[in-house]
């Protein structure tokens, strides 16, 4: 027994089934081993690698369904394909990387960690984000960062209509066109500290360096209800 190279645990999801895979991954919260996993034939199944709490790496070879890597803690999940609704939804920490496009609500309600979508993300990307960082190599769809509270959303392409509607303290960076800003979302000055955090996020995402971003944030006019603003809600 002289092998010292960590083996990659390979799982064929078409043979093993989702519950078996996720049960084994959940056991890693206590065992922590093996640390490298590869999932083949994901077949668009929902909730693949959801609820992880371990310092592990998973490569998924193919397209996945809804809520992939949802609630992730600590793990690095690489999806070599596209993903359905709610990838990395409510992520706490760790890293989730999507090579292809993401469907709606990518990174929704996420509290920490980094989500990278190399392609486009559809509508409601980062909706209600609460501390997650999201870097999208392409464009995001309508109503992205709706009610976003904390964290950073970086969009290297265009943003759809209603960006940052009813935004709190999340910071949004967009390089391309913005179809329209949502209620209480305004463009803000790019100061050196913003350039610095943007550069750091792009570097962590393995994108760029790129320049020409604009920053958007909350005008903070709708934090507390005021009768004069009733029409804006």
Partner 1 sequence: MCGIVGLFSKSPDTGAKLGHHLGAMLTQMAERGPDSAGVAIYRDAVAPGQTKLCLHSDDPHQHWGALCDELRDALGCEGEPEVRVSHALIVVDSDAETAERWLRDTHPELRAMSAGESIEIYKEKGDPAEFVVRFGLDELAGSHALGHTRMATESRVTTEHSHPFSPGLDLCLVHNGSLSNHNELRRELRREGIRFGTDNDTEVAAGYLTWRLAAGATIEEALDGCLSALDGFYTFAVGTRDGFAVLRDPFACKPAVLAETDEWVAMASEFRAIAALPGAADATVWEPAPAEIYSWRRERALVA
Where do contacts with partner 1 occur on this chain (CB under 8 A)? 43-46, 62-66, 81-82, 84-85, 100-101, 103-104, 120, 122-123, 141-142, 160
Query: Could you tell me the smallest distance in angstroms from the CB atom of residue 123 to partner 1?
Result: 5
Query: Could you tell me the smallest distance in angstroms from the CB atom of residue 157 to partner 1?
Result: 13
What 3-state class would DSSP assign to 63?
coil
Q: Cβ closer to partner 1: 34 or 44?
A: 44
Q: What does the DSSP assignment read for 129-188? A: -EEEEEEESS-B-TTTTTT--EEEEEESS-B-TTBTTT--S-EEEESS-BS-B-TTEEEE
Contact 78, 168 (CB under 8 A): no
Query: Could you tell me the smallest distance in angstroms from the CB atom of residue 65 to partner 1?
Result: 5
Q: Cβ closer to partner 1: 100 or 112?
A: 100
Q: Cβ closer to partner 1: 63 or 215?
A: 63
Query: Could you tell me the smallest distance in angstroms from the CB atom of residue 47 to partner 1?
Result: 12
Q: Cβ closer to partner 1: 34 or 138?
A: 138
Query: Could you tell me the smallest distance in angstroms from the CB atom of residue 40 to partner 1?
Result: 10
Query: How far is residue 116's CA from residue 208's CA, in Å, rounded to a whole number?
Result: 13
Query: How far is residue 86's CA from residue 66's CA, in Å, rounded to a whole number?
Result: 6
Query: Any bridge partners for residue 95, and if so which?
Result: 76, 114
What 3-state class would DSSP assign to 202?
helix
Query: Could you tell me the smallest distance in angstroms from the CB atom of residue 25 to partner 1?
Result: 20
Q: Cβ closer to partner 1: 41 or 93?
A: 41
Give, for 27, the enclosing helix (H) or strand (E): helix 18-31
Query: How far is residue 3's CA from residue 147's CA, in Å, rounded to a whole number?
Result: 51
The number of CA neighbours under 13 Å toward the Cβ of 93 is: 6
Contact 201, 135 (CB under 8 A): yes
Q: Cβ closer to partner 1: 127 or 153?
A: 127
């Amino acid at each position: 027994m002289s092998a010292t190279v960590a083996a990659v645990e390979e799982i064929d999801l078409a043979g093993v089934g989702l519950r078996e895979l996720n049960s084994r991954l959940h056991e890693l919260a206590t065992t922590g081993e093996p640390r490298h996993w590869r999932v083949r034939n994901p077949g668009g199944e929902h909730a693949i690698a959801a609820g992880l709490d371990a310092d592990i790496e998973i490569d998924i070879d193919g397209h996945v369904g809804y809520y992939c890597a949802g609630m992730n803690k600590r793990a690095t999940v690489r999806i070599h394909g596209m993903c359905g609704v709610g990838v990395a939804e409510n992520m706490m920490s760790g890293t989730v990387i999507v090579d292809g496009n993401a469907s709606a609500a990518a990174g929704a309600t996420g509290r920490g960690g980094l989500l990278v979508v190399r392609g486009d993300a559809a509508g409601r990307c980062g909706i209600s984000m609460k501390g997650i960082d999201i870097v999208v190599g392409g464009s995001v769809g309508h109503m992205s960062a709706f009610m976003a509270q904390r964290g950073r959303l970086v969009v290297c392409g265009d943003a759809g209509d209603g960006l940052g509607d009813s935004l709190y303290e999340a910071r949004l960076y967009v390089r391309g066109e913005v179809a329209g800003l949502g209620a209480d979302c305004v463009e803000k000055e790019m100061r050196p500290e913003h350039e610095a955090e943007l550069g750091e996020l792009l570097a962590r995402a393995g994108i760029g360096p790129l320049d020409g971003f604009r920053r958007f944030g909350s005008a903070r006019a709708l934090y507390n209800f005021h009768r004069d603003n009733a029409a804006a809600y």
